Structure 1
Amino acid sequence: MSTGSRATSRGGPGSRHVHPMVLPAVATSGLALLTLGAEPHLLSFGVIALGPCLAAVSGSPAAVFSIGVYATSLVVVVSTYQGLWGTWDQILRVAVTIAATVISIVIARHRRLLESNSAAAVKDQVMLAAVLEASSDAVYTATTEGTITTWNRGAEEIYGYTRAQAIGSSIQMLAPPDDGTALLAMFAEAAEGRRSEQIEVVRLNRDGGLFDVAVMLAPVRDTAGNVTAVAFIEHDVSARKRAGAKERAALERTQTAQRLESLGQLAGGIAHDFNNLLAIILNYSQFAAEQIPTDSEARDDLARVLRAAERARRLTHQLLVFARSERTEPAIIDLNDVVIEANDLFSRTLGGHIQLVTRTAEQPTTIIADRSSIDQVLFNLVINARDAMPDGGVLVMEVDHVEMAPDEVGYAPPPLSGRYIRLTVNDTGTGMSPEVVNRVFEPFFTTKAKHEGTGLGLATVYGIVTDAGGSIRIASEPHVGTTFSVVFPAAEVTGLPADVVADRPAGHGNGERVLVVDDDETVRELMVRILDRNGYKPVPAAHPEAALTLADEPFDLLLTDVLMPQMSGPELAERFKARQPDIPVLFVSGYTDGNAGVRRATGGILLHKPFTTESLLGSVQDALTGTGVPSR
């Protein structure tokens, strides 16, 4: 036996495969001996032809052909030995053997083809099983009754059940309690032989967590076409949906930021005209009040108009600060006054279901900060407290003095040690979890429903507080309430720098000639009237070109609006200084630093509209004496 005819069998290391020609050859030889001893004319000679038939079982056409040649040779030898050489009996015996060989070759070839197809099918099944096992998707099957029969590694990772735990269990364990009907409906369609479309559904893992999958169900049929099982193919799309949610949130934040930017641009655009109107209302109301007896009711009415105009001025300033379009104006303010004024406002607007309690300190509570910004801090904190008490409760605003230690816990940023003024806003509302507390100062983070909050309120509060050198702390407990504690460095009333003093006495002129340039006739006449009443000699100019025609006349001060149709104030100042290099310049503008969009001339100072008589005269005095802060 050749080397190729021997190989280790699957039965074990010691067993060997038998070559497919050996057994048919031995059998054919035995049949030839059996025929050799029989009568020549008996049909027993035909048993030799069984040799090729036996070889056909091996499935090897080559082996069948070899055995056929061998059997034919034996037929010739045996029939010749029996004295049948050249007879029809011998020819018939040879023909039968050859025919049996040909038929056996056809059978062997067909058998080999079947075996080859079967081996390929088995190989494909093994490959498919390996692919499904390696897949990160959950692939499993269940009987038509809903019992899980197979479970791949992807299903183990997604659901948390091992193969041993899942197989034999019901598919119902994978569905949320309120989603069983949908799962059964999909399963019933597949069990009836209909392949489902891919849809996204919610699934339940071993730990009770819910997650989203894209699932498709398909019937599994046997060779007769009958549905014997249902296959599930599920892909976890939770990460994709989270990424999509983050992308949508980022888009919403971008859109919100764009809306806020548009708000700032709009606010800056209307500021000039609106501040002009406020300047007119403030100053002409003051003019009228000066001409009315102190005991007149009309004087009281004008006083109310002045207070309303001042409130409108602060409101405009606050809007621009919020839109980051205007610089803040630090001044000495008393938090007691802020809380008292806020109490008057909130007592009328919070509603009867909320009890408002206000407590102030006995001693002055002065700090250095922008008044409008501090109003905004208190407003945002109170509104948040109100929203946290939809069913009513108690809201407390309190101001007191505190000494801060260097190791004070909970404040952000950590304050330095020293004396502080503390503003506390406490509510008995829904409270917040620690996770929410850790994120409340993040821009755009909000727990309110969509379109009910931008998530900028507390972020703005944090920015204002830190800009003022303060710190903030939150103490909150769900279903109990929330306390915001804001501390600002205490300020002494005496010895303050000039740039933080809110109001100062205005000086009077000594006949100084002031060229007043403003394209708004009413504002121009207002400034001329104030200057004329206070010892100056104002000369009005309706536009920059008219002002330049007077450039050769001696003036002590150029007072000009910043933005005018034909020429900007800074350009006018530069051209005017070419004629009178030493003339001081005072710019007046209703625009903010960021929205004016013009370059200010070197050496000029800036007065924001709306101005009062005192602020205008003070700025004129600063410009004439050179004590003002130059614009940059």
Structure 2
Amino acid sequence: MPVVVTSALAMLSLAAEPHLLSFGVIALGPCLAAISGSPVTVFAIGTYATTLVIAVSTYQGMWGTSDQILRIAVTIVATMISIVIAHHRRVLERNSADALKDQVMLAAVLEASSDAVYTATPEGAITTWNRGAEEIYGYSRAEAIGSSIQMLAPPDDGTALLAMFAEAAQGRRSDQIEVVRVRQDGALFDVSVMLAPVRDPAGEVTAVASIEHDVTARKRAGAKERAALERTQTAQRLESLGQLAGGIAHDFNNLLAIILNYSQFAAEQIPVDNEARDDLARVRRAAERARRLTHQLLVFARSERTEPAIIDLNDVVVEANDLLSRTLGGHIQLVTRTGEQPTTIIADRSSIDQVLFNLVINARDAMPDGGVLVMEVDHCEISSDEVGYAPPPLSGRYIRLTVNDTGTGMPPEVVNRVFEPFFTTKAKHEGTGLGLATVYGIVTDAGGSIRIVSELHVGTTFSVLFPAAEVSDLPVDVEADRPASHGNGERVLVVDDDEAVRELMVRILDRNGYKPVPAADPEAALQLADESFDLLLTDVLMPQMSGPELAQRVKARQPDIPVLFVSGYTDGNAGAGRTTGGILLHKPFTSESLLGSVQDALTGTGVPSR
């Protein structure tokens, strides 16, 4: 088209008088070509126009004149200006196309984003709403656009949301923060929000953009991870405390064995009507109380002997209800709920009674002014990601024992420590701090888990899980009590690194027809092992060598010698007694229990240590 126009202008200039300025219209050709936005096209048309100017002016007799030169110069200048205009037009068109393409691409990205992206006026009216916002909030684009952003916030937080948008409208980009939002169905959830002002070409803020990411799942996962870490740390701390408690109990049981037996020896030599005999009886009763305290320590350390059996938690709770209803007092209402189906577990019955008793006593103490105490038994299915139980339970079917009170409750810092031995919030002389530590030991020893939920001034709930059991699950290796008897001169090799305990056992055996031979340590015992003995009586835990290891080395010389282990804290080592055929006697022992276990070992009627 510019070629045709330029040619027509050249014909018009050719027909005009030479002195007229009509030749200048030829220069319009390059100007018209500039509209195309192509510098190459403008250059071509300019070259064509310059050629026509030279041809027309020469035809008109202006060859070499100043008029011809002027006409050529004007055409060339017009061409150059048109080339510059065409170049800038092309740049503008390209930039405009790129900007439009970027806008389309950005709009597509924002529309496809799973995050909620929307804009609103500085006053809070929603102007755009992407698909992510539809999915997160539940409002369609038609429902959201034109509505106030206050509908996205909880009722008590709408004003704060408007204030955030108003601050962003001042031109300040907000940091990423986490806030609570509300969906169309009223459900609350957590989002990570970043606000940014939207400006027009003049730099004025016309809207505020909000980019929001749903972090509810991440926060829940983080909470589970923190809870799992806390449970692991609690389990590790309790395990360490259990080992410490077991070690203390080992030494304490040695002392109790001495106190119990020597007080009995002394009492036997004092007339019945002597006041000193009564004093020794008090000493013995105090030692028995200490023995029960040590039993609690060993239960916590999971080192005390138990007698597992099939028991029904329904029966345990019903029987406890009859006793507790008369002892809790009239200011506490006791409610008992049992399962409709049998709730059988494998556990030591006396230990489970102790669990329930300790939980109920704690609940009673938490309700000095009265309240409601609920004992409940039911079946439940537990998944491996169940939160709050210690130790974490495996997936499976459980029998759950729940003890709930409406008492004073506990703060988190107390809840985190209630299973630690000797930790108590009670006044001095009102508690030992072993009740819940014992509960934890019994529950974990039975393969269970326990959880505490407590709120100040509301109450506390203990939930205890025990693996559900069938009758066929009952273990058959259960140790029974054996009667005491006297010896007939049997030689007994007595090994214990505690001199007082060793002398005590020697004295009991010597007084009852045996011929004890003491050894202060395993090395001394091995020096005597070539002699003929009817029984090896050894402590389990000794510094140089364990009792099971000593038994193996003695049996290498005397294969048929029976073994009796004695220990206040086995720490798992007595399990080696299976390889030696030994049985186990727990400290603190009495003369009767020691003599009975010796007879069991000699006759082969005792139950091997487990």
> Does the TM-score normalized on the shorter chain lie above 0.5?
yes
Equivalent residue letter for 2:242: G
Distance 2:220 2:515 in 1: 70
**Secondary structure in 1 matching 2:192:** strand
Distance 1:485 1:73 in 2: 103
User: 2:258: which partner in 1?
Assistant: 280
Deviation (angstroms), 1:333 = 12
Equivalent residue letter for 2:70: L
Instruction: Verify the 8 A CA contact 2:535 2:564 in the aligned structure 1.
Output: yes
Instruction: Verify the 8 A CA contact 1:331 1:500 in the aligned structure 2.
Output: no
Deviation (angstroms), 1:224 = 1.9
Q: TM-score, structure 2 length as denominator?
A: 0.74
Deviation (angstroms), 1:574 = 4.9
Deviation (angstroms), 1:518 = 2.4
Deviation (angstroms), 1:128 = 1.9
User: 2:539: which partner in 1?
Assistant: 561
Equivalent residue letter for 1:89: D
**Structure with the greater alpha carbon radius of gyration:** 1
Map 1:346-361; keep pairs closer than 5 Å.
347=327, 353-354=331-332
Alignment partner for residue 505 of structure 1, among 478, 483, 490? Answer: 483
User: 2:186: which partner in 1?
Assistant: 208
User: Is residue 88 of structure 2 the alignment partner of residue 126 of structure 1?
Assistant: no
User: 2:115: which partner in 1?
Assistant: 137
Instruction: Verify the 8 A CA contact 1:318 1:376 in the aligned structure 2.
Output: no
Instruction: Verify the 8 A CA contact 2:6 2:49 in the aligned structure 1.
Output: yes
Equivalent residue letter for 1:354: I
Alignment partner for residue 103 of structure 1, among 70, 81, 95? Answer: 81
User: 1:450: which partner in 2?
Assistant: 412
Deviation (angstroms), 1:603 = 3.5
Deviation track 1:83-106 (CA, whole Å, cap 9, x = no partner) reads: 555544344333322322222222
User: 2:167: which partner in 1?
Assistant: 189
Equivalent residue letter for 1:450: P
User: 2:92: which partner in 1?
Assistant: 114
Going from structure 1 to structure 2, the CA distance change for 1:204 and 1:301 (only over 3 Å counts) comes to farther
Deviation (angstroms), 1:390 = 8.2
Instruction: Verify the 8 A CA contact 2:153 2:180 in the aligned structure 1.
Output: yes
* Identical-residue share of aligned pairs (%): 79
Deviation (angstroms), 1:272 = 1.9
Deviation (angstroms), 1:157 = 2.2
User: 1:493: which partner in 2?
Assistant: none
Instruction: Verify the 8 A CA contact 1:373 1:464 in the aligned structure 2.
Output: no
Going from structure 1 to structure 2, the CA distance change for 1:64 and 1:276 (only over 3 Å counts) comes to same
Distance 1:296 1:510 in 2: 34
Going from structure 1 to structure 2, the CA distance change for 1:282 and 1:48 (only over 3 Å counts) comes to same
Q: Which 5+ residue runs of structure 1 have no aligned equivalent?
A: 1-21, 359-366, 399-408, 414-437, 468-477, 491-496
Alignment partner for residue 162 of structure 1, among 140, 143, 146? Answer: 140
Instruction: Verify the 8 A CA contact 2:302 2:442 in the aligned structure 1.
Output: no
Deviation track 1:102-158 (CA, whole Å, cap 9, x = no partner) reads: 222222122112212222222222222222222222222222222222222222222
**Secondary structure in 2 matching 1:328:** coil
Deviation (angstroms), 1:550 = 5.0
Deviation (angstroms), 1:619 = 0.8
Distance 2:401 2:477 in 1: 36
User: 1:418: which partner in 2?
Assistant: none
Deviation track 1:5-41 (CA, whole Å, cap 9, x = no partner) reads: xxxxxxxxxxxxxxxxx1x233334434444444332
Going from structure 1 to structure 2, the CA distance change for 1:601 and 1:540 (only over 3 Å counts) comes to farther
User: 2:18: which partner in 1?
Assistant: 40
User: Is residue 124 of structure 2 the alignment partner of residue 146 of structure 1?
Assistant: yes
Instruction: Verify the 8 A CA contact 2:577 2:583 in the aligned structure 1.
Output: no
User: Is residue 239 of structure 2 the alignment partner of residue 252 of structure 1?
Assistant: no
Distance 2:579 2:222 in 1: 51
Distance 2:36 2:136 in 1: 48
Equivalent residue letter for 1:160: G
Equivalent residue letter for 2:35: V
Map 1:511-550; keep pairs closer than 5 Å.
511-547=489-525
Judge which range, 205-214 or 607-616, deviates more: 205-214
Distance 1:123 1:93 in 2: 44
Alignment partner for residue 57 of structure 1, among 20, 31, 35? Answer: 35
Going from structure 1 to structure 2, the CA distance change for 1:46 and 1:253 (only over 3 Å counts) comes to same
Distance 1:344 1:235 in 2: 54
Deviation (angstroms), 1:616 = 0.7
Q: Which 5+ residue runs of structure 2 have no aligned equivalent?
A: 337-344, 382-396, 403-408, 420-435, 449-457
Deviation (angstroms), 1:306 = 4.1
Distance 2:196 2:324 in 1: 70
**Secondary structure in 1 matching 2:607:** coil
Equivalent residue letter for 1:75: V
Distance 2:470 2:143 in 1: 64
Deviation (angstroms), 1:544 = 4.2
Instruction: Verify the 8 A CA contact 1:541 1:547 in the aligned structure 2.
Output: yes
Deviation (angstroms), 1:301 = 6.2
**Secondary structure in 2 matching 1:101:** helix
**Secondary structure in 2 matching 1:169:** coil
Distance 1:133 1:594 in 2: 64
Q: TM-score, structure 1 length as denominator?
A: 0.72
Deviation (angstroms), 1:613 = 1.8
Going from structure 1 to structure 2, the CA distance change for 1:191 and 1:440 (only over 3 Å counts) comes to farther
User: Is residue 53 of structure 2 the alignment partner of residue 75 of structure 1?
Assistant: yes
Equivalent residue letter for 2:32: L
User: 2:424: which partner in 1?
Assistant: none
Distance 2:163 2:358 in 1: 51
User: 2:6: which partner in 1?
Assistant: 28
Going from structure 1 to structure 2, the CA distance change for 1:342 and 1:384 (only over 3 Å counts) comes to farther
Instruction: Verify the 8 A CA contact 2:575 2:609 in the aligned structure 1.
Output: no
Deviation track 1:338-360 (CA, whole Å, cap 9, x = no partner) reads: 9789969995xx788536799xx
User: Is residue 601 of structure 2 the alignment partner of residue 623 of structure 1?
Assistant: yes
User: 1:264: which partner in 2?
Assistant: 242
Instruction: Verify the 8 A CA contact 1:507 1:618 in the aligned structure 2.
Output: yes
Distance 2:38 2:316 in 1: 108
Deviation track 1:181-202 (CA, whole Å, cap 9, x = no partner) reads: 5434432332111222222222
Alignment partner for residue 602 of structure 1, among 580, 602, 609? Answer: 580
Deviation (angstroms), 1:268 = 2.7
Equivalent residue letter for 2:594: L
Going from structure 1 to structure 2, the CA distance change for 1:519 and 1:127 (only over 3 Å counts) comes to same
Deviation (angstroms), 1:252 = 0.9
Deviation (angstroms), 1:273 = 0.8
Alignment partner for residue 376 of structure 1, among 354, 362, 376? Answer: 354
Going from structure 1 to structure 2, the CA distance change for 1:76 and 1:517 (only over 3 Å counts) comes to closer
Distance 1:301 1:338 in 2: 41
User: 2:44: which partner in 1?
Assistant: 66
Instruction: Verify the 8 A CA contact 1:442 1:459 in the aligned structure 2.
Output: no
Distance 2:442 2:177 in 1: 45
Judge which range, 200-209 or 31-40, deviates more: 31-40
